[in-house]
Amino acid sequence: MSENMYDPNESNIYTETLNPWISIWTKPRATIRQILDSKSQAYINILAMAGGIATALDKASEKNYGDTNGVFSILIMAIFGGAIGGLITLYIGSALIYWTGKWIGGQGEYDEIKVAAAWANVPLIWGLLLWIPTIALYGSAYFSSDLADLGYSMGLSIFAIILSIIAVILGVWSFIIQLKCLGEAQRFSAWKALGNIILSVLVIIVPILLLVVLLSAF
């Protein structure tokens, strides 16, 4: 079957009860279908906040917050800012995906899309465990622009590189899982789910760009 086609049987081949914290890594469609069929909205806010915190920590590292902030300040910003950002993404992002998804044949309800979006955070949440040894070993230095200039041993520098590679792999796989979860909620393929996400971003970006162009013309 073409990858562009949604196969409803793909999420129905597992008859056993799945543990979503584990099964979503390898059976995202079946896992989300099981949760959706249960009509449960449990944990979605907690999942969204935890996923937002994980994303905030990654952003803090990418933007070298450690160059100007201590580890305590970084953690406070990530915990509170990330949790709020996660909730905003869950509710507003899901609304945009629900709205734009209708344009391309999406059949998911708003609550179903929220559930799929929330549980797609599970890999990122597991990734939070990596931050425990990372912060214990490096503190704010891990968030700085160059670990090599901070006097660490070759072993610790290599370990930091390994952690960064794992974070990248985790991020890519998490995005793939997100597409499959959204595709299951919308009853279409993961590729179409990608289009759904792109559309939801464009409905925000395009009006802003048009406004900037109009304002610059005066």
pLDDT of residue 158: 78
pLDDT of residue 66: 83
Would you say residue 93 lies in a domain?
Answer: yes
Over the stretch 3-35, which tens digit does the pLDDT of each residue have?
455 555 555 555 678 999 999 999 999 999 999
Q: Using CA atoms, how far apart are residues 7 and 122, in angstroms rounded to an integer? A: 24
Would you say residue 4 lies in a domain?
Answer: no
159-166, long-range: CB < 8 A, 24+ apart: 160/134, 163/130, 163/134, 164/61, 166/130
CA nearest neighbour of 140 among 68, 58, 52: 68
pLDDT of residue 2: 41
pLDDT band at 1 (very low <50, low <70, confident <90, very high): very low
Span 109-114, mean pLDDT?
96
Quick one: DSSP state of residue 17?
P
Q: Using CA atoms, how far apart are residues 167 and 170, in angstroms rounded to an integer? A: 5
Q: In this prediction, what percent of the chain has a pLDDT beyond 90?
A: 58
Contact between residue 47 and residue 21 where contact means Cβ atoms under 8 Å apart: no
Over the stretch 34-54, which tens digit does the pLDDT of each residue have?
999 998 888 999 999 999 999
The region that residue 138 occupies, defined by phi over 0 for left and psi between -120 and 50 for alpha, beta otherwise, is alpha
Would you say residue 85 lies in a domain?
Answer: yes
Is 86's pLDDT higher than 60? Answer: yes
Q: Encode burial over 159-193: b for 16+ CB neighbours within 10 A, e otherwise.
A: bbeebbeebeebbeebeebbbbbbbbbbbbbbebb
Q: What is the mean pLDDT of the chain?
A: 87
Contact between residue 60 and residue 78 where contact means Cβ atoms under 8 Å apart: yes
Is 135's pLDDT higher than 60? Answer: yes
Over the stretch 180-209, which tens digit does the pLDDT of each residue have?
999 999 999 999 999 999 999 999 999 888
Domain containing 161 equals 22-216
pLDDT of residue 5: 56
Span 57-75, mean pLDDT?
88
Span 93-117, mean pLDDT?
96
Would you say residue 184 lies in a domain?
Answer: yes
Specify the pTM: 0.84
Over the stretch 152-187, which tens digit does the pLDDT of each residue have?
566 667 777 888 888 888 889 999 999 999 999 999
Would you say residue 171 lies in a domain?
Answer: yes
Kindly state the tokens that stand for 113.
């899309």
* Least confident range of 20-29, 94-103, 126-135, 175-184: 126-135
Would you say residue 14 lies in a domain?
Answer: no
**How many domains is the chain partitioned into structurally?**
1
Would you say residue 2 lies in a domain?
Answer: no
Would you say residue 6 lies in a domain?
Answer: no
Phi, psi dihedrals of residue 72, rounded to the nearest 5°: -65, -45
DSSP letters, 132-157, are HHHHHHHGGGGGSS-GGGGT--HHHH
Quick one: DSSP state of residue 93?
I
Q: Using CA atoms, how far apart are residues 209 and 218, in angstroms rounded to an integer? A: 15
Quick one: DSSP state of residue 36?
H
